[in-house]
Structure 1
Amino acid sequence: MKKFWIALGCVLMGMASAQAQSEEHPYVPETDQAVVKKLDEWQDWKFGMIMHWGPYSQWGVVESWSICPEDEGWTQRKPAGIPYYDYLKKYEALGKTFNPVHFNPEKWAKAAKDAGMKYLVFTTKHHDGFCMFDTKQTDYKITAADGAFSKNPRANLAKEIFQAFREEGIHAGAYFSKPDWHTAYYWWPYFPPRDRNVNYDIKKYPERWNQFKQYTYNQIEELMTGYGKLEILWLDGGWVRPRKTQTKESLSWSQTAPQDQDIDMGKITTMARSHQPGLIVVDRSVHGPYENYRTPEQEIPNKPLSYPWETCMTMGSSWSYVPDDKYKTVNVLIHNLVDIVAKGGNYLLNVAPGPDGELHDAAYATMKGIGEWMHVNGDAIYGTRAVAPYKDGKVCFTRKKDGAVYAIYLLDENEQVPATISFKGLTPAKGARLQLLGASNKLVWKTTADGVTIQVPEAIRQKGFKHAVAIKIPTVEKM
């Protein structure tokens, strides 16, 4: 009978837990006023760059995931059929041959600035545990004595990159993977890894888990103290989380009973902000007080969100370097940017360097194209917030803090600016002088039964505008 009640209790507890995990976790607003201020500034930046880079670029394979023993499309090993431990040995040896002899972060930073990017998130360590900075916690790092690049005076890659971007006026942020598939404190060699999660019983070996917590804390403190001003700590690997914060999605990431992978984010955050006041902390997908903004990946929400957010997306097809990667067109990327900003979000666009430290020519060309558009239309993007309605047909709207509104018409590839642009949902104030960015001509407009119609002079239409045009409405009628 006792066994029955124990079993029933476990079932009821499981049902309660499942119910809690299926509920939408509310956004928890930040209370640290320095962080609140920084978040407001971050929402003004709108457009940033994330860079995935590591020894894996030598093979042109997906970052880290090919050493994860899960049978998913993105975890496949090449060549197919190679035994796991044979592959792992070869993969980990890549750290010794990684030699980006054309490393030139100043060139990257200038291209990013010219593209209109305002902040950087750089992968200091991905899930495979290889450190792109000079950590003292492990020899699995770019500055290891037996590494091909270690004698280079710029071997501490993260430090050089952060400095180069800051010198261009770009805000610096550090990507850091919470899971670490190289350290014995997370994937203990005594047991084989089973999936992406810790591979030993934390309750049975609490001392080992505490060593992992300290290892993680120490590495983050190194970043917070030795790499200049950092404004974002962008934490990936959302399965490393307290058991009570599990969601239906995070539970699906474990092929065994989920464990309480609590690394004490409160302690880490307090330490990090003691060194970097106002630091934005992004504990991705772990909804709670350490997720200052949310990060939908490779997708754009259907509507504005009520909290700070950022779409992170690849410029090409992959987060990591692929030799013959195909890049999204400038038109697609600008339309994405306008759509995201109109919904109140930021756009974090990934660019992946190759094994020699150089970007694809196509990446530079794409950033140049974006920059040419941003140079003319940036005022409709930076320092804006969402305004209802955020979109009507091919017209997106953004709002400046002084109350001015921009109506941004999305041009199809090779489409000429139309003779009239119409929208509904908001109306310019009586007598408002409308102007299209990049042109000095006054625009004639009128209200109709269907909304507002703006006449576009032929002289403007012949200017060869591409991708989108932004019309400034200095004041609108109260809604």
Structure 2
Amino acid sequence: MKRKSIYTYGIVALVMMVCVQYTHAQGNVHQQSTTYQWPSDPLVKEKLETWRDQKFGMIIHWGLYAVPGIIESWELCSEDWISRDSTIAYDDYKKWYWGLSKKFNPVNFNPDQWSQAAKDAGMRYVVFTTKHHDGFNMFDTKQTDFKITNGPFANHPKANVAKYVFESFRKQGMMIGAYYSKPDWHSEYYWWPRNATADRNVNYDIRKNPWRWNKFKDFTYNQIGELMNEYGKIDILWLDGGWVRPLETVTDEVRAWGAAIPAWSQDIDMPRIASMARKAQPGLLVVDRTVHGPYENYQTPEQSIPKEKLDHPWESCITLGNAWGYVPNENYKSSTRVIHSLIEIVAKGGSLLLGVGPGTDGTFNDMQVQRLKEIGQWLSVNGGAIYNTRTTDYYYDKDRDTYFTAGKDNSIFALVKLKEGQAIPATVEWTGNIPAAGSRVKLLSTGATVKWKKEGDKVKVYLPASFLKQNNTYSALAFAFQK
């Protein structure tokens, strides 16, 4: 008994040590598609434009991996970028990981805390992980017993976690996104227990076992059907696991990921899934990540921002800390760093989906809440330069680290990033996007009209003395004017 206990705790300690190291490894990052296909369905196009107005959302990774505080799912997978103790048998590790379902009991689960923190941050939509690659379901699916409602949390009044997350964020007026992993490493129809599990892909030849793959396709279809029909209004179906795709869509771009690619197609029949999902949720945005075509309604570069602006819909998904889910002793980005990323992303035509991972007990910690509140304080007075905007032809003055966005009323916004901790200068300058002669320039944070003048191809703006007196530092200055 004592030896077994030491062995188990040894695994936990080892995994916790290596989890952060591999969170950003190449094998765990979805690259961005290089081509885009606009949707043709009028309802989808309408919802897509509504989504493009929101600009800022939260993605929540929460599952078994929160119990020991490790990287989400990936250590179940055997690939070169993943490190496990070589003295631990792989089957023993899988049993330990999946056995966490008997320990996951988040008695303080508080979706209202999450949604309030998101609202306080100025967020307008949420994407919640209903199931990650490990196959553990955070909703009451009827397709498997491997779920949050079948364990120590089963008798909790909010055991059907996804239902209550969606309800809480919906009450805050946010668009609702359901993250769903196409691969399912717990399903016998994806990782057949008869065979070894070498990597992230299905571990049998689909061509030789079509019955088994068809069972997996039905399993996937039925689970997504549950989410689309039993959990209220859903705006976004956010599908992860881009290696599960038709073989004909595997391009050099996909091969560059470095992950193994089987000789057979891992086609789960997206036309059938999308048709069913949109029958239940008219206008639903489907985000089949990196599988460019009719079911990737917007692109999702991960932990990165495109180098140049893009005029089609996209979203950078970036973590508040280093990991997607909860890990102990996390280092969180400053509110200024997040605000600067948001400004750059929006000026380049995208949206920011910020990753925040609740702890084992089901709550955000004080530091997460504080960071989100600080971001929201900036957006509460400067959000006019962010929400409901689109790109401008001249979107960035590199020399002065100033970005520009355009309002739907033809107004132009200049967003001047200030170095973190730096005192606010009495004047700021930018080139390009010169205000029209005689027009007013407004400082959004106060609503005050500020003095400005044109000097050649440059604009010089004078900050009000009252603003400088009240603020020692500031993340970014936002100005509105007519060009």
TM-score normalised to structure 1 length? 0.91
Aligned residue in 2 for 1:435: 442
Per the TM alignment, residue 421 of structure 1 is displaced from its structure 2 partner at its CA by: 1.4
Aligned residue in 2 for 1:472: 480
Q: Which of 454, 466, 472 is the aligned partner of 2:461? A: 454
Aligned residue in 2 for 1:223: 227
Please show how residues 78-117 of structure 1 align to structure 2 within 5 Å. 81-117=87-123
Aligned residue in 2 for 1:347: 352
Tell me how far apart the structure 1 counterparts of residues 146 and 212 of structure 2 sit (CA, whole Å).
19
Please show how residues 273-422 of structure 1 align to structure 2 within 5 Å. 273-392=278-397, 393-422=400-429
Aligned residue in 2 for 1:54: 63
Contact 1:197 1:254 in 2 (8 A): no
Contact 2:326 2:358 in 1 (8 A): yes
Deviation per CA, 1:392-414: give whole Å up to 9, x if none.
12211111011001111111112
Letter in structure 2 aligned against 1:192: A
Assess, with a 3 A threshold, how the Cα gap between structure 1 residues 371 and 179 changes in structure 2: closer, same or farther. same
Per the TM alignment, residue 450 of structure 1 is displaced from its structure 2 partner at its CA by: 3.3
Tell me how far apart the structure 2 counterparts of residues 195 and 408 of structure 1 sit (CA, whole Å).
45
Q: Which range is displaced more, 328-337 or 445-454?
A: 445-454
Aligned residue in 1 for 2:53: 44
Q: Does residue 1:171 correspond to 2:175, yes or no?
A: yes
Please show how residues 109-258 of structure 1 align to structure 2 within 5 Å. 109-144=115-150, 147-251=151-255, 252-255=257-260, 257-258=262-263
Deviation per CA, 1:207-254: give whole Å up to 9, x if none.
111111110000000000010111000000000000000023433554
Contact 1:329 1:366 in 2 (8 A): yes
Deviation per CA, 1:113-160: give whole Å up to 9, x if none.
01100000000000010000000000000111xx01011111000001
Deviation per CA, 1:83-106: give whole Å up to 9, x if none.
100000010011121000110100
Per the TM alignment, residue 80 of structure 1 is displaced from its structure 2 partner at its CA by: 5.4
Tell me how far apart the structure 2 counterparts of residues 80 and 459 of structure 1 sit (CA, whole Å).
63
Identity %: 52
Contact 1:233 1:282 in 2 (8 A): yes
SS in 2 for 1:289: coil
Assess, with a 3 A threshold, how the Cα gap between structure 1 residues 426 and 201 changes in structure 2: closer, same or farther. same
Assess, with a 3 A threshold, how the Cα gap between structure 1 residues 136 and 441 changes in structure 2: closer, same or farther. closer
Contact 1:98 1:148 in 2 (8 A): yes
Aligned residues: 447
TM-score normalised to structure 2 length? 0.90
Aligned residue in 2 for 1:29: 38
Contact 2:182 2:241 in 1 (8 A): yes
Contact 1:53 1:123 in 2 (8 A): yes
Deviation per CA, 1:252-310: give whole Å up to 9, x if none.
55436432001110110010000000100000011111000000000011110121000
Aligned residue in 1 for 2:277: 272
Per the TM alignment, residue 63 of structure 1 is displaced from its structure 2 partner at its CA by: 0.4
Tell me how far apart the structure 2 counterparts of residues 406 and 278 of structure 1 sit (CA, whole Å).
31
Contact 1:239 1:253 in 2 (8 A): no
Tell me how far apart the structure 2 counterparts of residues 256 and 369 of structure 1 sit (CA, whole Å).
43
SS in 2 for 1:87: helix
Structure 2, gaps ≥5 residues long: 1-32
Tell me how far apart the structure 1 counterparts of residues 253 and 152 of structure 2 sit (CA, whole Å).
40
Tell me how far apart the structure 1 counterparts of residues 349 and 341 of structure 2 sit (CA, whole Å).
12
